[in-house]
Amino acid sequence: MKKLPITELDSFLKSLNMPVYLPSDDPSGQAKFTRWAEGVQLTQQLNTVRSAKDLFFPQMENLVDFKVQDQKIEIIEHRNVSENFVIFGVRACDAAAFEILDRVFLSDPVDGYYKERRDHALIVTMACSAPEETCFCTAFGIDAADPKGDVTAWKTEDSFFFRANTGKGEKLIAGLADGDESAVQAQQAQTREILSKLPNGKLDLTGFDGAHMMEKFNDSRWKELSEACLGCGTCTFVCPTCQCYDVREFNTGDTIQRFRCWDSCMYSDFTKMSAGQPRPTQLERFRQRFMHKLVYFPDNNDGVYGCVGCGRCLQKCPIHMNIVKVAKTIGGEGNG
Amino acid sequence: MAEYREPLIPMLGVVTAIRTDTPDVKTFTVTGLDGKKPFVHIPGQCAMLSIPGVGEALFSITSSPTKEDALEFSIKKCGCVTDWLHAMEPGQQITIRGPYGSGFPVDTDFRGKDLVFVAGGIGLAPLHSVINYVRANRANYGKVDIVYGSRSMQDLVDFDEILNEWSKEEGITVHLTIDREQPEWKGHVGFVPNYVKELGFDTSRTVVMCGPPIMIKFTLAGLMELGFDKSNIYTTLEMKMKCALGKCGRCNIGTKYICKDGPVFRLDQLDELPDEY
Ligand code: SF4
Ligand code: SF4
Ligand code: FES
C-alpha cells in the first residue's frame, strides 16, 4: 500500500507526465470528468453526472471521411491513435461498467475505436466512503469499498492510499512512499456498514433471466410502469452501460464525415423503418431498455446484468421512474 | 489471419451493371475496384451498401455464392438510399461491407431435403441466392417447388430467368401467381398464401418463405393447417440496422440481434422471441 498526502496530489498527477482525467466540478457545480491541469480540483461529490464511458465511447466521434466526385469515391481513414492516459477517481460502479462495455465492443468483431482508447487507459478507481441512498451496486456484487482497476485508491481525511492491481498500475505508483493499511481498513468497515443499509442494496433480481424471458416480456404491469415515460432518453445518456449508437453523416462541403453518436432505445425513431415500426408506443421502447439490461444482456453474457447500480437514472429521470422500480414491480418476491 | 479491418469502415466497390426488373426493382452487379467479387457469402447473408452523403443500408445478396465474378443485389425503390441507387448509372462507385448474418443452412439442414420456396414481391431477392445455389449443387437436394407471386405480371422480379432457366430444369417446378387478372396473363391468379394451400405440399418438406409480413402470416397459417411443423419452416426478418455488427443495439429482439443471429430464422425459433418485428 502506498500513501500520498492530499496536498501533494497536484505534484503527483504532474509527475505522471500523461493526460489525466478526473471528476471535477464545472462552474455550475456539476461533477464531470475533466482533463487535469494545475488548479483543477478533484470533486467532493460522490459521482459525476455523466459516467466515465465518454472516455472510451464518446458521445460523438468521427469514424471515417469520404470524398465523392462524380462517380468516384475516396475513403479517408484517419487512424484512431490514442496516447496513454489516466482516468483518476473512477467509482466501483463505473469501473464495473467498463467490463460490460468491453463485452459489447471487444467481442468479435472488435471495435477498434473503443479498443484503442481502452488499451491506452490506466484506471485508478476511488473507493466510496459515503454511498448515497440511490446507490445499489451491492445488488450486482460490486464492492464500493474495494473497487477494481489498475490501481485502487482510498481517500481519507488527509491522505490518499493506493494499491496496485496490475503491472501497469504498479509502475504508476512506484515512486510513492509506503503507507499503513489500517486507515483503509477502518474506512472500508465503515463504508460496508453504510452499504449494508442502503434501501435498494438487496434488490432481488430473481426471475430476470432467459428462462423467464417471455413471462417478463408479457407482464401486464409494463403499461403502468411506462405510462408517464417522456421518452427523453436521459436515463440512457447518463447510464454507464448504455451503449446503443447511431451512425450518421455530415457534409462539410469538402468531405462527408461519417460519425457515430449515442442513441437511445427510448426514442421512437430508434427502430422506425419505411416498412413499419416494431415498437409503436413508449411501452415497447421502455420495456426494451429494461428487458435488455435485466434479461437479454445477462442471458447472452454469463448472467452479468446490464446495470451496475450507479443510481444515475434514479436521480435524473424527470418522472422518477427507474430500474429499481421496474425490478421491484415485476421482479423477485424478496423486494417486499 | 486476415489483416485487421475496422468493421465500420467499408471498402470501395463499383456498380458494373444495372438491370431493370420491374417498374420499381433493379438488380445491381457489384465488384471490388479490382474487378473481382468483394467477398464470399452464404445464401441469405446481407451486405451494407452506401453512397456517402446519402446513407448506408443493409441489403440481402441476391446472387448465389456460386456466381464467381460479382455480387448482385435486387433492390426495390423505397426511400433515401434506394432512390439514389435507382437513379445512378453503371460505373458508379459505392461502398460495401459484409457479409453479415447467419444465412440459410444450405449445407446442413437443407441437404437431402425436398424444398418449397415461397416468395412474394421483392421477397424473391434473398431466395434467389438459395435457389441458384441449390441449382448449382443439384445432387445435394431433392425436389424443388417455387411459389412466387406479385401484384402484377410486371412486378415479378427475374421473370426471364424464372421462365427460361428455372422452369426448364428437371426437378424444379415453378408456380407463378399474380394478385389480379391481366389480359396477357395465362397463369394462376390469386394471393400467395391461398395458392400455397391449394398446392398442398407434403408436410415432410422444408419451406423457405420470404415476403411482406402479411404474406408470411397467412402462408404460415395455411402451412399450419396443412400440418407442417414449425421447425421445417424458415423465413427472414427485417429490422432497421446501423452497424450490422451486433453492437449498436438497434436490431435487438429478445436475446437475438437480427443483423448477427439472423436475418434467417426458423419459425420455432421465432416462437421463443418477443413478437417485435
Ligand atoms: S440502469 Fe440506472 S442504475 Fe443501472 S447502471 Fe444505468 S444509470 Fe446506473
Ligand atoms: S424512464 Fe425517465 S429518463 Fe428514461 S426516457 Fe423515460 S422519462 Fe426519460
Ligand atoms: S444493426 Fe447494430 S446491432 Fe444489429
B22 DSSP β-pair partners: B25
Ligand 2 centroid–CA A226 distance in Å is: 9
Classified by CATH at the fold level, domain B115-236 comes out as Rossmann fold (3.40.50)
Residue A298 exposed, middle or buried by CB count within 10 Å (0-12, 13-18, 19+): buried
Tell whether the model's pLDDT for residue B188 goes beyond 50. Answer: yes
Residue type for position B157? V
Ligand 2 centroid–CA B276 distance in Å is: 21
pLDDT in tens, A216-271: 999 999 999 999 999 999 999 999 999 999 999 999 999 999 999 999 999 988 88
> A315 near A237, Cβ under 8 Å?
no
The shortest C-alpha distance from B167 to chain A (Å) reads 32
Ligand 3 centroid–CA A282 distance in Å is: 21
Distance, in Å, from the CA atom of A118 to the CA atom of B142, rounded to the nearest integer, reads 52
pLDDT at A336: 57
Distance, in Å, from the CA atom of A276 to the CA atom of B248, rounded to the nearest integer, reads 20
For the four alpha carbons of A17, A22, A26 and A29, in that order, the dihedral sign comes to negative
Distance, in Å, from the CA atom of B195 to the CA atom of B130, rounded to the nearest integer, reads 22
* Average pLDDT for A140-157: 96
- Residues 102-131 on A with a CB inside 8 Å of B are 104-105, 107, 109-113
A262 DSSP β-pair partners: A245
Tell whether the model's pLDDT for residue B147 goes beyond 60. Answer: yes
Tell whether the model's pLDDT for residue B155 goes beyond 70. Answer: yes
pTM of the full predicted structure?
A: 0.93
Residue nearest (by alpha carbon) to ligand 1 atom 5: A307
The shortest C-alpha distance from B66 to chain A (Å) reads 26
Q: Provide residues with CB under 6 Å of ligand 3.
A: B 241-244, 246-251, 257, 259
* Average pLDDT for B227-253: 93
Distance, in Å, from the CA atom of A34 to the CA atom of B119, rounded to the nearest integer, reads 56
* Average pLDDT for B69-86: 93
- Domains of chain A, residue spans: 2-63+78-197, 210-335
Would the CB atoms of A274 and B94 count as touching at under 8 Å? no
Residues of B at the A interface, defined by Cβ within 8 angstroms: 4, 6-12, 51-53, 55-56, 78-79, 89, 91-95, 213, 238-240, 242-243, 245-250, 252-255, 272, 274, 276-277
Distance, in Å, from the CA atom of B199 to the CA atom of B116, rounded to the nearest integer, reads 11
Spell out the alpha helix ranges (H) of A77-233: 92-105, 112-120, 167-173, 182-196, 213-217, 222-226
Residue nearest (by alpha carbon) to ligand 1 atom 4: A307
Select from A239, A266, A281 the residue to mutate for testing ligand 2; criterion: most ligand atoms less than 8 Å from CB: A266
Distance, in Å, from the CA atom of A90 to the CA atom of A153, rounded to the nearest integer, reads 9
* CATH number listed for the domain at residues B11-100: 2.40.30.10
Residue type for position A97? A
* Helix then strand then coil, % of chain A, to nearest 5: 35, 20, 45
For cell 457545480, name the residue: A29
* Average pLDDT for B252-257: 93
A-chain residues within 8 Å CB-CB of B276? Answer: 278-279, 284, 288
Helix (H, G, I), strand (E, B) or coil at A60: strand
| CATH 3.40.50.80 residue spans of chain B | 115-236
For cell 509527475, name the residue: A15
pLDDT in tens, B10-45: 999 999 999 999 999 999 999 999 999 999 999 999
| CATH 2.40.30.10 residue spans of chain B | 11-100
pLDDT at B275: 84
B-chain residues within 8 Å CB-CB of A288? Answer: 252, 276
* Average pLDDT for A3-29: 96
Give which of B245, B258, B268, B273 to mutate to test A binding, by max A Cβ within 10 Å.
B245
Percent of chain A at pLDDT exceeding 70: 99
From the CB of residue A316, how many other CB atoms can be counted at a distance below 10 Å?
A: 18
Would the CB atoms of B247 and A111 count as touching at under 8 Å? yes
pLDDT in tens, A57-91: 999 999 999 999 989 999 999 877 789 999 999 99
pLDDT in tens, B202-229: 999 999 999 988 899 999 999 999 999 9
DSSP B33: T
Tell whether the model's pLDDT for residue B145 goes beyond 90. Answer: yes
ipTM of the complex: 0.91
Answer yes or no: is the C-beta of A121 below 6 A from any ligand 1 atom: no
The shortest C-alpha distance from A91 to chain B (Å) reads 25
Percent of chain B at pLDDT exceeding 90: 84
Would the CB atoms of B276 and A77 count as touching at under 8 Å? no
pLDDT at B1: 39
Distance, in Å, from the CA atom of A125 to the CA atom of B113, rounded to the nearest integer, reads 58
Tell whether the model's pLDDT for residue B55 goes beyond 70. Answer: yes
Q: Is A213 left (phi over 0), alpha (psi -120 to 50) or beta?
A: alpha
A33 DSSP β-pair partners: A23
pLDDT at B3: 62
The DSSP bridge pattern shows strands A121-126 and A85-90 to be: parallel
> A217 near A330, Cβ under 8 Å?
no
Ligand 1 centroid–CA B242 distance in Å is: 24
